[in-house]
Amino acid sequence: MTSRYFKPATFLQTIFILALTLGVQVKAAYSPVRSYQGSTFFDKWDFYGDVDNTTWGNVTYLTREAAASTNLAYINSAGNAIMKVDNTTTIAPAALVHRNSIRITSQDTYGTGNIIIIDALHIPYGCSVWPSFWMFGIGPMPQGGEIDVIEAINDMSNNQYALHTAGSCSHVGNNNQTGNTLSTDCSQGSGCTVAENKPNSFGAGFGQAGGGVFATQIDVSGVYFWFWNRPDIPADIKSATSTSTIDPSNWGIPSASYPLACNYSQNFAPQQLVFTTTLCGVWAGVPGIYQATCPGGGSGPDSCATENVIGPGSPKFDNAYWEVAYVKTYIAAGSQPGAPSASGAVASIPSSSSSPLATGSASGSSGSSGSSSPNAGVRMKTGYEMVLGMLTGAVLMGMVL
């Protein structure tokens, strides 16, 4: 992102933005907007109902009705949402093969001033499997921008965060984050990418550890991601109610911090939330990447599909499912919908389907690349005292004015 651009704002707003950019946590209360949870989880989502024509994976995304009738999308006995890759069908060899899967897109859109929190107990994994929980801007891609919250492939054990833009946006250096920066150019294929360094953020370990929570804060100063294993979930998230607020200043250093070197509103349209699970495609199925992340995998151009998609679905895809307790969204207290400085807009897009989904039990984007390596970030202290002094002065000026 080439330049920082601020809409007309008060002095206090400017100081608040400066504090965030320098890595100083400022107390801010966020109020609930929407809770996708329980028996109504799927009610505000649209099912894709087409082949994977964005990342060219070997899947067909089902309609809502087909997903319900095949038991690939439902609410289990624990009240959690299940979204599965078909693991019961035997796929015959063919020139082009597809296995049924699920892609859903939220009818609501989100932007600056919003926080999105997902509590998941299981994330799809396994050779050929490419799951993602992400957001994309309304309009032609990538002009509307893309935010990847959960995304990894095959047998990787670490999640990756990424931003994708059409312009010259970049992930600036010296970030206040615990993750490892893999790439800084947000306009190149894998986007500007940060690998999670905390254990069990993806793969078999994630589910075995009881899952965890991911939070994404979209702010005028940038985009910030957190991940917590279940024992470490912050108290305000763990005890959240339909009316209680949350405060990201209590959450510690983000896993990935993107204080953008460009204007967010010029590079990101209002964002829709998306769950996908594709197979192979332009990341998980690339021969060199497939071999590196699936030990014993073949090196041929079609090895990913022939070794996994074709043939019986079990046991290969027994772990290719999402189990999600909830997705909750929040807005900064005092924000006005659509206000660029306070941010926090939520719009609703008409639903294309409203039929109910079945209840049962589990049987078992975007694109990024690379792998993670441990490199814990150091909390930025430069300018800390200066910003605190400016904040104090701003408060005093407000009292005088």
Residue pLDDT, tens place only, 76-132: 999 999 999 999 999 999 999 999 999 999 999 999 999 999 999 999 999 999 999
Instruction: Flag the least confident range among 28-37, 66-75, 133-142.
Output: 133-142
67: helix, coil or strand? Answer: helix
392, burial (CB in 10 Å: exposed 0-12, middle 13-18, buried 19+): exposed
DSSP 340: T
Angle formed by the axes of helices 384-400 and 11-21, nearest 10°: 170
114-122 and 129-137 beta bridge pairing: unpaired
Instruction: Flag the least confident range among 9-13, 82-86, 215-219.
Output: 9-13
CA-to-CA distance for 100 and 33, rounded, in angstroms? 32
What pLDDT score does 389 carry? 35
Which residues have a catalytic role annotated?
Answer: 146, 151
Mean pLDDT, the chain, rounded, equals 82
For residue 109, give every residue at least 6 positions away whose Cβ sits within 8 Å of its Cβ, in sequence order, or none: 138, 270, 271, 272, 345, 346, 347, 348, 349
What pLDDT score does 375 carry? 25
Q: What is the CA radius of gyration of the chain?
A: 21
Q: Say which residue, 354 or 44, is predicted with more confidence.
A: 44
Is pTM, for the whole model, over 0.85?
Answer: no
Distance of CA 293 to the CA centre of its chain: 21
- List of domains in the chain: 30-137+145-156+199-249+266-332 (2.60.120.200)
* Cβ atoms within 10 Å of 242's Cβ, excluding its own: 8
Averaged pLDDT, 379-384: 26
For residue 388, give every residue at least 6 positions away whose Cβ sits within 8 Å of its Cβ, in sequence order, or none: 24
H or E, element range at 291:
helix 287-293
Question: Taking 70 as the threshold, does the pLDDT of residue 44 lie above it?
Answer: yes
Find out whether 87 and 59 touch, Cβ atoms under 8 Å. no
Instruction: Flag the least confident range among 181-185, 271-275, 366-370.
Output: 366-370
CA-to-CA distance for 311 and 305, rounded, in angstroms? 10
Q: Say which residue, 15 or 239, is predicted with more confidence.
A: 239
H or E, element range at 116:
strand 114-122
Find out whether 77 and 365 touch, Cβ atoms under 8 Å. no
Q: Which residues of 86-106 are buried (b: 16+ CB within 10 A; e: fewer)?
A: bbeeebeeeeebbbbbbbbbb
* Cα distances (Å, whole numbers) of residue 87 to 70, 78, 326: 11, 21, 24
Find out whether 177 and 255 touch, Cβ atoms under 8 Å. yes
pLDDT digits (tens, 9 = 90+) for 286-306: 999 999 999 999 999 999 999
Percent of the residues in the chain that have a pLDDT greater than 70, as a whole number: 76
pLDDT digits (tens, 9 = 90+) for 339-375: 333 334 454 444 333 333 443 333 334 433 333 322 2
CA-to-CA distance for 165 and 132, rounded, in angstroms? 17
Please report which confidence band the pLDDT of residue 9 belongs to, taking 50, 70 and 90 as the band edges. very low
